[in-house]
Structure 1
Amino acid sequence: MPVFTEHAAASRDLRVLPSFAPPLPRFAPTLSPPTSEKYEVVIVGAGPAGLMLELLLARYGLSDDSLLCVDTKSTALKSGQADGLQPRTLETLKSLGLADEILSEGCQMWQVAFWNPSEDEEKIIERTSIVPDVAVPARYPHEVTIHQGRIERILETDLLRYSKRGVQRNTKLIDVKIDEAGDAEYPVVAEIETEGQKRTVRTKFLVGADGAHSIVRRNMGLKLEGESSDHIWGVVDLVVDTDFPDIRRRCAIHSPAGSVMVIPRERISTGDYLTRLYVQVPGDVIPSEDQQPDNGTGKPPVVDARARRSQVTEKTIFDNAAAAFKPYYIRPKKDGAVDWWAAYQIGQRVTDKFSVKDSNGVNRVFIVGDACHTHSPKAGQGMNVSMMDSYNLSWKLAYFINGLAPENLANKILDTYHIERHTIAQQLIEFDKAFSSMFSGKIGASEDGVSSLTHDEFLEVFNRGNGFTSGCGVEYPDSMTVNRSFNGREDPIHGTDYLAGILHPGRRLLNVRLVRHADGYRRDLQDDFASTGRFRILCLTSSDLLDPAGISAQALKTLSAIIARFPKSILEQVVIHPRLSRDFMWVDVPSPVKEHSEMSFYSGYEIDQVYSIYGVDPEKGALAIVRPDGYVGVIASLTDVGRAEHYLEGLIRTV
């Protein structure tokens, strides 16, 4: 055997990290071994929202000593519940390296079929149109349906790469309160019970991801606002036997007998394909006591909503569905073909606050997902909006805990969680009201002389809401994390079609395809924006990039100095160039390009016309600071790099 001497770098452990980046740097003191059970973050609930939050915080560097997630269930969900993932959610899961199984195994919905009453009485219903399911630019221009339990399993499996404990299951929250007198640093007190054993834990922050009947929301005195009555819905997952031609498309069926939504589902282990049917049952009920909107009296009206729901049976759902499908038949394919069914009540409501502060005004308790907003399933938003709540909150919490945010501004950054996500929840409620009302309406006939809904009107609402329902049209309002005001300075972006990709603070960065200079790799730009908790500087250089005295060279030199002012690795730089006058080598471009962006330096024209898509003049270029969650925070011209620097100084500590 050959004899050799092995030499290994001290950083060799970095090669086997379970992600593409080390944890975030930490400036705050690490958690010392406590005399009692203390954590920096406690998460209540391990559905998609809770698991997403725990996974992100664990990836950002919070250890099992710092982070605890509890859930009443013994395992991930086995059946029922949510099933749809929208394009923006898929982009987010891709940024975590978790999208491949979902994309390959889930059912991809590319089209929506609309069925309405036919003028031919024998036909009863007829297909009136087929439209794209996603009508806005997106990396994944389709929805994916796959069981919520599978999403939970994917998230939890990945979590165990970063956490030995994972989720502490069979554990319920009994009580939670803020008690600063007992410990001002860990002021949130939670009483929990694990398999009959009660204990008390303290934490700096607690997040309620515990669903529509949230104990956290109730104990924190947070109020629901919205409808005072609920719709009763029947839903069933099954393997169907039918001659309906569009059973493998998403369908909205308006028939004389009622309305049904068809959601094709994934293939299961038997080789069969599941289908989900949503059927609205006539009649409303007053919501359950713990979901009552505030009516000013402090006492909710009493109604036995449970008894009303119990009147809905599996037969009720099938009878309503079968009537709506006529003249086509639909039935379970065989005995045991029904995987799950349920009757549940849904109303459009949102809490007035998404966080609760201590006496010093520091945000201490947060709620995410169904704990702070409820709505119908028609728009396919539940699991998506819930996970995006956690995606928004995670980096802000991590920056506070790790001491990465400026000390005097860290809590103000946490304030933006409510500002941003409450805005989106309100928009969701308003859209869901309009869409649900139209979905449940009659099409094509007039009653009592009043004109009913037309198919064109319904289609217009569907298309108008597509940007919102896909997640691609979400726009956060102005705050310290979103700066749209130029105050007389030059706006380097031209155009206002933000859904088409025009750069705009508060909007997510649209994916584009580029060619990397270093190796010719044809790459998706979003892959340079992985969910590692880092801010990115996106520099679209001008056509004078090869001129050492040009604006691009000067801007890149200034950016290099700015990067050095912040903690190491917290800022990453991505550089794109327009069509240039000649071929070039590394020696021809400004040295900061190779220093900071050797493997993130791209041609902006060889595949997609990036400058045109983003609304940037190639003669002038532009800068965009992209937040850790993929949303543009601020835009600046290459001659105003100080604007970007000022934005970063408000969010990241300097060194």
Structure 2
Amino acid sequence: MPVDKEHLLVSSAPQAARSRLPPLPRYTPDLITSRREETIQQERYEVVVVGAGPAGILLTCLLARYGLRDENSLLCIDLKSGTLGSGHADALQPRTLEVLKSMGLADAIINEGFQCWERSAWDPSPGNEEKIEQGYVKPVLDSTAGYRYPFVLLMHQGRTEQMLEADLLRYSKHGVQRETKLIDVGIDEHGDKEFPVKCVIETADDEQGGTQTRTVRCKHVVGADGAHSTVRRCMQLDLVGDSLGYMWGVVDLVLDTDFPDIRRFSSVRSAGGSVLVIPREQIPATGEYLSRLYIQIPGEVALDMSVEEARAKRSEITLESLLETAGRVFRPFSIKQKQGTAVEWWAIYHIGQRMTKDFIVRDSTGLPRVFLVGDACHTHSPKAGQGMNVSMMDSYNLAWKLAYSIHGLTPTPLLETYETERRAVARQLLDADKVFSTAISQPIASTQESGDVQGSLSKQLDGILSALAGFISGCGIQYPENALVELPAIHGTDTDPLCGILHPGTRVANVKLKRYVDGAPRDLQDSRTGFPSTGRFRILVLTSTDFLAPLGISSSTLNTIGGTLIPSFPPSLIEQVILYPGLCVCRHFRWEDLPRTVKVYSEMRLFDGSGSDLAQGEDAYTRFGVAPDRGAMAVVRPDGYVGIVAELGDVARVESYLARFVKR
């Protein structure tokens, strides 16, 4: 269409910025603004993140989204020159995908990765333990449990890091400062009380060809620097736990095999040992599909083995010996490296479970200053696909609490709850890993019962995976009662986190809804719908069947929330999401039929919760365990977890909860 005359009313310059989410409001002095009036003798930041693996890059990305600018407020350093090219973690569990979806990042990752929907078990053939036969094929996750993503996504860690770093660069000018090593970190309150954490870092000097050492100060430092964490060492914290007497190898390669379940998550056990098969993503350049093999190394390892002895033991193991062991386990099937391809990565590790006593180090006043996330504070075997996921969820829990504290948005110390909530999860992680690793590693002879080798092995593993499904998926994590989790819940008797019942300490399950304003089908968890990762608290209101009654409890509740509660807090910090039950006996309604504040605060967050008009719709009231004739309210924290559940109409309880954590 030809244009004869055009009026450009909005400058094109900020178009790129318009896609960025708004930062959280700030009530403390802007560090950058305050520095314009003073001469700074030393480099200072509000948060320094050490390590740009999945936990570190996610934390940095979230802090940048929440408004910490990298000019002088946020610094992320990493020893590596770039993201990982291959190896290490490879699984993204359903809860992690939910979080990435709430950030608007999941679709690209899901499209590129390999979706693993089924698992199988192979056991020794009866009468011939040297050969294997299939024990079962089952879904990876129970499709009736309400998972939004009922599969595990397989893709190498480096690609996840790349996608997160690309998003970080939308909010950050500098991104990750690479080829930078942390030399030392400590709390030095005498040097600068406002910035008491002192970090000595060493950066590659491209011009001189050497290194440059400098000292920076910060309010908080986060150790996301892995199992050999320098932050943890400088804080004199030790990883404490147990080692099992087993050693495993891991290999990423393209396979030439007639094993029928090579594209399923498979456990394979025979007299020759144990192997776990992890199907992996496609290599774009060649069209080939990767596979990962976890291969048990024959023989037990002495639990009191010294570091030198362990290193010598590992040096005896070669890639060829690993693949030979795998070949024996898979008989009568053939399995070998495909000719003309290269092994992408391989490694050897002991099975063990360790964690630190503390995830937080405090200054002399008791204020948390140093935090550990991910492998820096808990390590375990990689077989259940938990390392990257639990580590990233550590960061997801910590990020908003750090932002609220730094921005002066909370009157209550929130940072202590990071350790309370995530240490409980880490303890579960180590316990779950020990159970699973022991079951898959123990010799065939120790599992035989009444000659029923096949039945005992398959049933044992199936029972363990089924029992751990809620934890492994991340969707069944339940935080203990603490300052941010207020019990009891008032609705629903089933407290299984996987069932989706609104219950304090559990994440809000996804529900497919119909949006009132445009009739569009929407998902509650999506980045542009109900619960995006923007750092805001939400009040989820499930109105009752009196939704359209002007003098009903629903209207009274909405009037109070919109009329007095939300306006009493900082602008944009408290959002409202409204669901209404099926109104099959009612006429169509208009905005004027509802309290005026509904359109003001929830125009794009008002949903039909019955799911009756959607092809794959769900009844949200059934999912959340709320009776339509009673309704309910829930305060949802910025990390998507329920903080409190209240009776519809009990706005005072909701307001009291929010006032404890959000500054008025």
TM-score if structure 2 supplies the norm length?
0.92
Report what 2:625 is aligned to. 615
Change in Cα spacing, 1:129 to 1:538, as seen in structure 2 (3 Å) is: same
- Equivalent residue in structure 2 for 1:94, among 88, 101, 118: 101
Structure-to-structure mapping, 1:12-161, within 5 angstroms = 16-17=16-17, 19=19, 21-31=21-31, 32-33=34-35, 34-64=40-70, 65-119=72-126, 121=128, 124-135=131-142, 136-161=145-170
Correspondence 1:397 to 2:376: no
User: SS of 1:124's equivalent?
Assistant: strand
Structure-to-structure mapping, 1:477-626, within 5 angstroms = 477-485=480-488, 491-527=490-526, 528-560=530-562, 561-580=564-583, 581-582=585-586, 583-605=588-610, 606=612, 607-626=617-636
Distance in 2 separating the partners of 1:630 and 1:76: 28
Change in Cα spacing, 1:573 to 1:334, as seen in structure 2 (3 Å) is: same
Structure-to-structure mapping, 1:415-434, within 5 angstroms = 415-434=416-435
Is the CA contact (8 Å cut-off) linking 1:87 and 1:138 kept in structure 2? yes
Shift of the alpha carbon at 1:584?
A: 1.4
Correspondence 1:436 to 2:437: yes
Report what 1:283 is aligned to. 300
- Write the letter of the residue equivalent to 1:610: A
Structure-to-structure mapping, 1:197-346, within 5 angstroms = 197-228=212-243, 231-268=246-283, 269-281=285-297, 282-284=299-301, 303-346=308-351
Shift of the alpha carbon at 1:122?
A: 9.0
Is the CA contact (8 Å cut-off) linking 1:116 and 1:443 kept in structure 2? no
Change in Cα spacing, 1:117 to 1:183, as seen in structure 2 (3 Å) is: same
- Write the letter of the residue equivalent to 1:405: T
Q: Which moved more, 1:451-460 or 1:322-331?
A: 451-460
Change in Cα spacing, 1:287 to 1:470, as seen in structure 2 (3 Å) is: farther
Report what 2:359 is aligned to. 354
Distance in 2 separating the partners of 1:128 and 1:231: 24
Change in Cα spacing, 1:320 to 1:47, as seen in structure 2 (3 Å) is: same
Distance in 1 separating the partners of 2:289 and 2:594: 54
User: SS of 1:161's equivalent?
Assistant: helix
Cα deviation per residue 1:597-650 (whole Å; 9 max; x = unaligned)? 111111111221110111001001000111111111110011211111111111
Q: Which moved more, 1:424-433 or 1:634-643?
A: 634-643
Change in Cα spacing, 1:504 to 1:446, as seen in structure 2 (3 Å) is: closer
How many residues are matched? 632
Shift of the alpha carbon at 1:287?
A: 8.7
- Equivalent residue in structure 2 for 1:642, among 652, 660, 663: 652
Is the CA contact (8 Å cut-off) linking 1:443 and 1:455 kept in structure 2? no
Q: Which moved more, 1:243-252 or 1:31-40?
A: 31-40
Unpaired segments of 5 or more residues in structure 2?
A: 205-210
Change in Cα spacing, 1:552 to 1:46, as seen in structure 2 (3 Å) is: same
Cα deviation per residue 1:429-464 (whole Å; 9 max; x = unaligned)? 011111111111345876799998542122111101
Cα deviation per residue 1:206-234 (whole Å; 9 max; x = unaligned)? 00000001111011011322105674221
Q: Which moved more, 1:467-476 or 1:113-122?
A: 113-122
Is the CA contact (8 Å cut-off) linking 1:622 and 1:635 kept in structure 2? yes
Distance in 2 separating the partners of 1:265 and 1:384: 17
Distance in 1 separating the partners of 2:106 and 2:558: 34
Is the CA contact (8 Å cut-off) linking 1:235 and 1:342 kept in structure 2? yes
Cα deviation per residue 1:537-584 (whole Å; 9 max; x = unaligned)? 110000001111100011111111111111100111110000123121
User: SS of 2:556's equivalent?
Assistant: helix
Distance in 1 separating the partners of 2:546 and 2:449: 70
Is the CA contact (8 Å cut-off) linking 1:232 and 1:280 kept in structure 2? yes
Q: Which moved more, 1:208-217 or 1:634-643?
A: 634-643
User: SS of 2:508's equivalent?
Assistant: coil
- Write the letter of the residue equivalent to 2:85: K
Is the CA contact (8 Å cut-off) linking 1:14 and 1:22 kept in structure 2? no
TM-score if structure 1 supplies the norm length?
0.93
- Write the letter of the residue equivalent to 2:146: P
Report what 2:637 is aligned to. 627
Shift of the alpha carbon at 1:18?
A: 5.7
Is the CA contact (8 Å cut-off) linking 1:229 and 1:287 kept in structure 2? no
Distance in 2 separating the partners of 1:443 and 1:620: 56
- Equivalent residue in structure 2 for 1:384, among 369, 385, 389: 389
Q: Which moved more, 1:259-268 or 1:581-590?
A: 581-590
Shift of the alpha carbon at 1:21?
A: 2.9
- Write the letter of the residue equivalent to 2:275: V
- Write the letter of the residue equivalent to 1:492: H
Is the CA contact (8 Å cut-off) linking 1:235 and 1:278 kept in structure 2? yes
Report what 2:663 is aligned to. 653
Q: Which moved more, 1:336-345 or 1:390-399?
A: 336-345
Change in Cα spacing, 1:552 to 1:302, as seen in structure 2 (3 Å) is: same
Shift of the alpha carbon at 1:185?
A: 0.5
Change in Cα spacing, 1:373 to 1:160, as seen in structure 2 (3 Å) is: same
Unpaired segments of 5 or more residues in structure 1?
A: 289-300
Is the CA contact (8 Å cut-off) linking 1:287 and 1:345 kept in structure 2? no
Distance in 1 separating the partners of 2:13 and 2:608: 34
Change in Cα spacing, 1:150 to 1:302, as seen in structure 2 (3 Å) is: closer
Identity of aligned residues (%): 53
Report what 1:462 is aligned to. 465
Change in Cα spacing, 1:416 to 1:392, as seen in structure 2 (3 Å) is: same
User: SS of 1:197's equivalent?
Assistant: strand
Change in Cα spacing, 1:579 to 1:201, as seen in structure 2 (3 Å) is: same
Distance in 2 separating the partners of 1:3 and 1:85: 51
- Write the letter of the residue equivalent to 1:550: G
